[in-house]
């Protein structure tokens, strides 16, 4: 049933290691440069002022005296805006939104998150005051400033999710890039309780690139993926990061994730004709996988009402793990599958209808 995808898989598997090695060589030769993506800026709250006339002032006073009554729909809309702002890493905007919601209407699940945002606001205020005195962080050139702002948001998002080790390394990389960054240093101090003598300033891109290489060639593909996911934050416009990420996912049989990563690499580097062809072939395999999965579900549904008798082949797999996974699905539906190895493949059989 999976013959088409198996053939294509065999063709793809042979070049995945080559792609991974090519990405390593390319990365070693690549000159690191600040990203110039159009990231949304973040930082202290900014308010724009407009001249107020006498009539306008009276209207404002009258409006201010009116009690604000939030309907359930308005509260629901504010909570949606809050959640979207957090997902977009606009943390101080999110705090401003959630503070408009009455305490009794705030979900309990948000309490810890809000406490984190309030602490983050204090760190930002502290950094703003410090920068007003020494004017360090504002001296960066615009491309580097955009990269640093993005990395700081990634670190804050990691902190929010409890991924403290990743947050620490990203913040250290910010200091490595800038020589000194007040916001990064205060986040390390106030959010992770780390003074400057508790960590070593180093290039985290090199550290995680080497870690991904060690994981991939050592067969620990999850380690490679974990390291590369950090690199997607540190160097988000580097196509070689996504090329290697796709190769790692492919070796884990995560074909859809591999395809997404490879497509990103092709988008960032359209000149990579070899990878473009690989992605096209993998796309066909993924589509065939979806067709096969649909057929498997239909087969399982039929097997649920099949009487015991002669057996038929329900599926053939290249690995024992996939065969047992499929057999487990059949068993959950009431079927009685058997598994055997035949001609180098794992065959799942069931009662004939």
The string of pLDDT tens digits covering residues 280-339 is 999 999 998 888 888 777 766 665 555 545 778 888 888 777 888 888 888 877 777 888
Select the more confidently predicted residue: 29 or 314: 314
> Which of 40-54, 65-79, 226-240 reaches the highest mean pLDDT?
226-240
Handedness of CA 74, 79, 83, 85 (dihedral sign): positive
In this structure, is residue 45 part of a structural domain? Answer: no
Q: What's the pLDDT band for 51 if we cut at 50, 70, 90?
A: low
**Same-domain status, 233 and 143:** no
**Same-domain status, 319 and 344:** yes
**Same-domain status, 101 and 177:** yes
pLDDT higher than threshold 50 for residue 38? no
Mean pLDDT of the chain: 81
pLDDT higher than threshold 60 for residue 247? yes
**Same-domain status, 171 and 275:** no
Sheet holding 338-342: strands in order across? 311-317, 345-351, 338-342
The pLDDT tens digits of the residues spanning 200-225 come to: 999 999 999 999 999 999 999 999 99
What pLDDT does 58 receive?
53
**Same-domain status, 72 and 14:** no
Final residue of a domain: which of 164, 198, 232? 198
In this structure, is residue 98 part of a structural domain? Answer: yes
In this structure, is residue 296 part of a structural domain? Answer: no
In this structure, is residue 338 part of a structural domain? Answer: yes
pLDDT higher than threshold 70 for residue 189? yes
Q: Into how many domains does the chain fold?
A: 3
Final residue of a domain: which of 159, 178, 198? 198
What range does the domain containing 17 cover? 3-30+204-289
**Same-domain status, 167 and 265:** no
**Same-domain status, 15 and 73:** no
pTM of the model: 0.64
37-61 per-residue burial string, b: 16 or more CB within 10 A, e: under 16: eebeebeeeeeeeeeeeeeeeeeee
**Same-domain status, 104 and 182:** yes
What pLDDT does 50 receive?
47
- Give CA separation, 346 vs 29, 144, 250, in Å: 44, 54, 21
**Same-domain status, 192 and 224:** no
In this structure, is residue 42 part of a structural domain? Answer: no
In this structure, is residue 309 part of a structural domain? Answer: yes
**Same-domain status, 280 and 188:** no
In this structure, is residue 271 part of a structural domain? Answer: yes
In this structure, is residue 55 part of a structural domain? Answer: no
Taking residues 151-177, report their average pLDDT. Answer: 93
For residue 188 the two structure tokens come to 């390390």
| φ, ψ for residue 347, nearest 5 deg | -110, 130
């Amino acid at each position: 049933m999976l013959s088409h995808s198996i053939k294509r898989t065999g063709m793809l598997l042979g070049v995945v290691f080559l792609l991974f090695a090519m990405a390593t060589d390319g990365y070693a030769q690549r000159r690191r440069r600040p990203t110039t993506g159009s990231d949304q800026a973040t930082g202290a709250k900014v308010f724009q002022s407009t001249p107020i006339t006498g009539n306008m002032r009276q209207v404002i006073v009258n409006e201010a005296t009116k009690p604000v009554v939030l309907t359930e729909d308005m509260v629901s809309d504010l909570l949606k805006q809050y959640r979207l702002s957090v997902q977009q890493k606009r943390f101080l905007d999110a705090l401003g939104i959630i503070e408009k919601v009455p305490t009794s209407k705030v979900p309990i699940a948000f309490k810890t998150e809000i406490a984190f945002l309030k602490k983050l606001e204090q760190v930002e205020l502290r950094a703003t005051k410090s920068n007003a005195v020494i004017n360090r962080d504002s001296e960066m050139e615009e491309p580097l400033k955009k990269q640093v702002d993005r990395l700081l948001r990634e670190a804050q998002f990691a902190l929010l999710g409890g991924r403290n080790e990743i947050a620490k390394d990203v913040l250290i990389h910010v200091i490595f890039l800038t020589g000194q960054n007040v916001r990064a240093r205060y986040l390390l101090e106030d959010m992770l309780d780390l003074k400057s003598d508790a960590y070593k300033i180093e290039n985290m891109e090199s550290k995680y690139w080497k870690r991904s290489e060690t994981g991939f060639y050592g067969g620990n593909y999850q380690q490679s993926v974990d390291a590369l996911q950090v690199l997607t934050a540190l160097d988000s416009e580097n196509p070689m990061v996504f090329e290697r990420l796709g190769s790692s996912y492919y070796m884990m049989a995560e074909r859809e994730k591999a395809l997404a990563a490879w497509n990103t690499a092709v988008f960032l580097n359209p000149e990579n004709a070899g990878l473009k062809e690989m992605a096209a072939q993998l796309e066909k395999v993924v589509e065939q996988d979806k067709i096969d999965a649909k057929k498997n579900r239909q087969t399982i549904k039929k097997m649920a009402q099949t009487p015991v008798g002669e057996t038929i082949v329900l599926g053939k797999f290249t690995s024992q793990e996939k065969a047992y996974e499929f057999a487990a699905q059949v068993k959950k539906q009431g079927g009685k599958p058997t598994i055997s190895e035949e001609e180098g493949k794992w065959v799942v059989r069931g009662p004939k209808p």
